[in-house]
């Protein structure tokens, strides 16, 4: 496991300058499988979103770089994608980026977990605020980051 993480870190360091040059950020990198066949999954993002053509362009840029450096000497498959419409939200900066959008939060309240879905209206260093609508009534929920179990964007209908 430590070997796979070290290899993923090397790949991350190798590809980040190219992604930056192409004006994408590395959202996530996942390396699975073992010797003989590995899957390298790279998720890219940028404020205006990511298209299928963007993923193809990034794949065509990264593939020769990865082959030249030869960090993955065995057969590997490269998959480039976006985080998706219901992407996980992990950091305060990611929450801030999506202020005004709908989000789904799962968080601890005492010994229980609760789920709330609403509009992200504020983010501080220690709290996320959602505006919930119950019928015609609106209410605010403030969730401390320390109580957050999982969060993702929610698709708006």
Q: How many domains does the chain have?
A: 2
Which whole number is the average pLDDT over 5-14?
Answer: 92
Q: Which of 81, 110, 145 is the last residue of a domain?
A: 81
Q: Is the Cβ–Cβ distance between 80 and 143 less than 8 Å?
A: no
* Residue-wise pLDDT tens digits, 23-68: 999 999 999 887 778 899 999 999 888 999 999 999 999 999 999 9
State the Cα–Cα distance between residues 150 and 24, nearest whole angstrom. Answer: 25
- Whether the per-residue pLDDT at 86 is higher than 70: the answer is yes
Residue 149 forms part of a structural domain: yes
pTM for this model (two decimals): 0.76
59 and 124 housed in the same domain: no
97 shares a domain with 75: no
Q: What is the mean pLDDT of residues 100-113?
A: 95
Q: Are 106 and 147 in contact (CB under 8 A)?
A: no
Domain carrying residue 122 = 92-153
25-46 CB burial, b ≥16 within 10 A, e <16: ebbebebeeeeeebebebbbbe
Q: Are residues 53 and 96 in the same domain?
A: no
In angstroms, the CA 78 to CA 101 distance is 31
The confidence score (pLDDT) of residue 1 equals: 64
CB neighbours of residue 82 within 10 Å: 18
Same domain? For 139 and 71 the reply is no
91: Cβ contacts below 8 Å, ≥ 6 apart: none
Instruction: Enumerate the H helices of the chain as residue ranges.
Output: 2-21, 52-69, 92-97
Last residue of a domain, one of 47, 81, 115: 81
């Amino acid at each position: 496991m430590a070997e796979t993480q070290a290899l993923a870190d090397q790949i991350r360091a190798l590809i980040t300058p190219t992604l930056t040059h192409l004006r994408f950020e590395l959202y996530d990198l996942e390396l699975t499988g073992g010797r003989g066949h590995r899957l390298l999954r790279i998720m890219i993002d940028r404020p205006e979103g990511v298209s299928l053509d963007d993923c193809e362009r990034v794949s065509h840029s990264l593939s020769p770089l990865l082959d030249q450096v030869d960090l993955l000497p065995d057969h590997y498959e490269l998959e480039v994608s976006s985080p998706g419409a219901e992407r996980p939200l992990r950091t305060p900066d990611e929450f801030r980026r999506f202020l005004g959008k709908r989000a789904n939060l799962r968080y601890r309240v005492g010994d229980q977990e609760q789920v709330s879905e609403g509009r992200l209206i504020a983010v501080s260093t220690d709290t996320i605020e959602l505006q919930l609508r119950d019928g015609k009534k609106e209410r605010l929920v403030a969730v401390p980051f320390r109580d957050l179990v999982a969060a993702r964007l929610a698709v708006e209908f």
